[in-house]
Every structure is written in C-alpha cells, then in structure tokens.
Structure 1
Amino acid sequence: KAIGANAGYVRDLLDPAKNTMPTIDKLRAIAQELDTSVDYLSGDSDAPEVVRSEVTLSDKHIDWRGPDRAEPGIPLVGTGDCADLEVCDVSGDMIQIQRSSFDPDHHVRMLQRPPALRGQTDLYAIYFHGESMEPRFEAGEVGIVDPRRPVRTGDYVLVQLNGGDSDDVVSVLAKRLVRQNAQEIILEQFNPAVTFSVPKSKVTRVHRILQQTELLFG
C-alpha cells in the first residue's frame, strides 16, 4: 500500500511460481519503505543496512567566514602641515625639522579595519605631511599607529610633542627611532638626511607606526 501497489501485485510478487520481478522504480520504492537497499533486495549485498554518506547537500547558503562580527573602524585623526621645529643635530648644529599639527579629538573619517588588526581598539591613523620621510612615507599616505606595541630601535614612530609648559600635545613628528635615553630621543629623517635629538621634556608620547607586514599578518 505504501508504494501504491494493490493486493494482486503483492500476491504475484510473493508467489514463487510466477517469479514476478518488480520494475526498478517499484524496487526502489520498496527498498525505501523497508529502510534497506536495492542491492540487498536483489541479492547483490548481504548487508540490509542502507549506506548513508556523512556529506549532505543543501540549498542553504553557508557563510564559511563565520558570523559577522561588527568591528569598529580606525579613526583617522586630524593632522596637517605645521611650522618647522628647531632641533639639534648629532654634530651640535641647530636645524629646522618638519613637523605636523595634531588634533586627536578631530576624526577626519573612519578607516576600515584590516582583518589582522581585529580586536585592537586603541589604533589610530594619520596622514603623512611634507617630504621629510620620502621615499618611505609619501605625502598624503596614511599610517596606522598602535600605542600598545613596544617601541624599539629602528622602528618608525610618531612622536607627540608638547608645548613645553604641559603634556598637552600640540604637534607630531613622523620619523625613525635611532635611540633614546632619559634625557633625549634621537630620531632620523630621510629628506634631507639628518639625525637629530629632541629633549624628553618636549615629548609626551612615542607611538609605533605599523609596517605593512603587521597590517597584513598582525
């Protein structure tokens, strides 16, 4: 009855004298209702259990990337051209160094966070200004800064400068760190090539500018 057959069909199927064989469609239907296989019913297999694959097909879209977790963007803070800063180079001569204005409270826009930097919420970004670090940093490029990463000799850094009478940041330097001690920080710029020092009394913070490999791989 389950496969749509009448009593006569079942009687003929069970009569050895008639040797009735069901069609392939009927055989499949019988196997499905008896929860066995066509091979078992036809004598080609001794195992009545149906072999089931662990792999299934589904029309439902599966997002292999996992759930979409909202990640905050990286704020691009306000920077701009600023008056030069007079510093002392390693030979003792006073020179002029390019610096940029800095307004951490003004966000120009929010940048999309690279996957490798997910969960790092203290990051901020700046525009590079001037030509002092070309060709490493071109004017108008964006650099991402991580305040939490330790600063090491040879790193590219963002030095936040105060006005001398408080720790309030008034400008920044984007340079390469040569070395530092309790009294001063020694920095390098590429264009024009010069190594110079800034008194620690004028430095509020030194933050690391992330390199490309860190942006890609964390």
Structure 2
Amino acid sequence: METEHAEHFPPRQQNFFPLSQVSGADRIPLMSETLHDRVRKRLEELDLTPAAASLKARLSKEMLRKLLGNPDAMPSGKSLTALATALEVSEQWLLSGGETPAAVKTDVRRASSTPPPRHEMPNDVPVRGTAAGSHLRGAFQITADHVDFVRRPPTLTNVVNLYSLYVEGTSMEPQYAPGDLVFIHPDKPARIGDAVVIQCQIDQEGAMEATIGILIRRTAEKVTIRKHNPPAEIDLPRETVLSIHKVLTNNEIYGI
C-alpha cells in the first residue's frame, strides 16, 4: 500500500505547505500569504514599526515583535481586534485576506474630519512622573513605568509615544503652575523657544534626573534653558543630556 500511495502522489506534485509554516485560519492548501505576511504588509504601508503598532493597538510594546517572530503563533481574539483597528483593516482580512485593506474603515477617528468628544477618548496617556521646578537641579526622574493614566486629547489620537507629567514647584510660573498637567511629544523635534523636558545623567552609575524649561540654545558643549521665577538661564553640559522632549502647547493639544 505504501508503494502504491507513493506512485499515485509523487512528492513533486504535493501542493500542501508543512503545518510548521502555517497556522490557524491559514492552514489552507495553496495559501502562500499568512496573517504574519499581511501584518508586515500593513506595517510597511502605514510606515509603522512593530513596537509603534503594538502601542497604537494599546497592547504591550513587544507583542507584535513576538508574534512576527513565531510563525506558529496566533493573536487572541482581543488582540486580533486591537491589531485590526491599529492597522486599519478588518479582522477577517487579517485572518484570511480577500478584501483590500484600503476598502476597510475600522478607524472611525481617522476617517472622520471631526475629532471625537473628549469624554469619549480613552484614559491611556501614561503619567511618567513629575516635572520639578528646581533652578539648579532637576528634582524628578522620568520613569519607564507609569504612575497613572490620563485622558487622551482628541487631537492627539494617533500620537503613539505621548506621555504626561505633573509640574511641581514654582520656577516655571506663570507659564506652568504647581499641579499643572503637561503633555510631552518625544518624537516631535524641539525648537528654540519651545518648552522642553530635559533628562540628564548625573553620575557614572547611571543615575538620572530631569528638568523643565524654555529651550534657549544648543551648542556642542551645552544646552541652555530658561526658568521664569526668578528669571534665570541654566546651562546643562551636553555630554550629560540624554533626551530633549517637547512640551506641547495648548494650540497643539486642543487644535486651537
């Protein structure tokens, strides 16, 4: 029986992919494109990294990288829904293809010219610390983990790495008072005259602290910021500066 079977189905005519190469809904003969391929295609079309798409879907930053790294892995139902929304396609297209992604409108916010009401926005912007008002040294540290979440402004729906801080101290009054919430866009270049949060390394062991101020100048040797109360200019050695993140203005936050 084995000899007859081999003669009737010669290996060169076998049209099935090994199960190790396909999974879930993609275990269909002759289907060369998998869910993983379709995800990669949308990442390229939307110019998103796996990490950015994961955050846009409000999943863990490493979720999509791990999924794409394992051909046999399939997302859970909840994750599939979130990924479909982030990639602006339907769940059915992710699973089996068919309709073109451009014909799918799952992200109603992007499809609409009018931002949704503020109360409909998710509480998904992480609060990563407090922006202290010390003149001489930054008395706060931006944390990798959140300490709270606040509601996302409608005009910032698609900003992936947005975070926020609470202001402490009075050195930035009257522009920022103690307790004010500021939104930080780390991917938007800071210009001279912008309010910024600067994080610095203060010793060889890697300890860090940060401060908020108005960006005055940048040279190869130092970064200079201005404080309001009392008026002062603070020089930060350039070699200690780890990041300069832009604080968004009310116009940028509320679309005024």
| TM-score using structure 2 length | 0.50
Alignment of 1:68-217 (within 5 A): 73-79=124-130, 97-165=136-204, 168=206, 170-217=208-255
- Which string of whole-angstrom CA distances, capped at 9 and with x for unpartnered residues, describes residues 15-45 of structure 1? xxxxxxxxxxxxxxxxxxxxxxxxxxxxxxx
Contact 2:186 2:246 in 1 (8 A): yes
Instruction: Quote the Cα distance in structure 1 between the aligned partners of 2:123 and 2:251.
Output: 21
SS in 2 for 1:116: helix
Write the distance in 2 (CA, Å) between the matches of 1:211 and 1:80. Answer: 16
Determine if contact 1:132/1:192 at 8 Å carries over to the other structure. Answer: yes
- Give the structure 1 partner of residue 43 of structure 2: none
Distance 2:202 2:187 in 1: 24
Displacement after TM superposition at 1:129 (Å) = 1.0
How big is each residue's C-alpha offset from its partner over 1:43-67, in whole Å with a ceiling of 9 and x where there is no partner?
Answer: xxxxxxxxxxxxxxxxxxxxx9889
Amino acid at match of 2:126: P
SS in 1 for 2:251: helix
- Closer, same or farther in 2 for the Cα pair 1:98/1:190, shift >3 Å? farther
- 8 Å contact from structure 2 (residues 223, 235) kept in 1: yes
- Contact 1:102-1:172 at 8 Å conserved across structures: yes
Q: CA, structure 1 residues 147+161, in 2 after alignment: closer, same or farther (shift >3 Å)?
A: same
Is contact 2:131-2:211 (8 Å) kept?
no
Taking the aligned partners of 2:229 and 2:177, their CA distance within structure 1 comes to 11
Deviation of residue 153 (structure 1)?
0.4
Higher helix share: 2
Contact 1:102–1:169, Cα closer than 8 Å, also in 2: no
**Which 4+ stretches in 1 moved above 3 angstroms?**
64-72
Q: State the shift of 1:72 in Å.
A: 6.6
> Secondary structure of 1:191's partner?
coil
The one-letter amino acid paired with 1:142 is L
In structure 2, C-alpha distance between the alignment counterparts of 1:176 and 1:80, rounded to whole Å: 13
Paired residue type of 1:77: R
Summarize deviations over 1:144-194 as a string: whole Å, max 9, x none.
Answer: 00001111000000000112326x462111000011011100110011111
Pair 206,215 (structure 1): closer, same or farther in 2 beyond 3 Å: same
Letter of the structure 1 residue corresponding to residue 237 of structure 2: P
Identity %: 25
**Paired position in structure 1 for 2:40:** none
Once the two structures are TM-superposed, the CA of residue 106 in structure 1 deviates from its matched residue by 3.3
Letter in 2 for 1:112: R
Q: 2:121–2:153: 8 Å Cα contact kept in structure 1?
A: no
What residue ranges of structure 1 are gaps of 5+ in the alignment?
Answer: 1-63, 85-95
SS state at 2:168 partner: coil
Q: Given residue 187 of structure 1, which amino acid in structure 2 is its aligned partner?
A: I
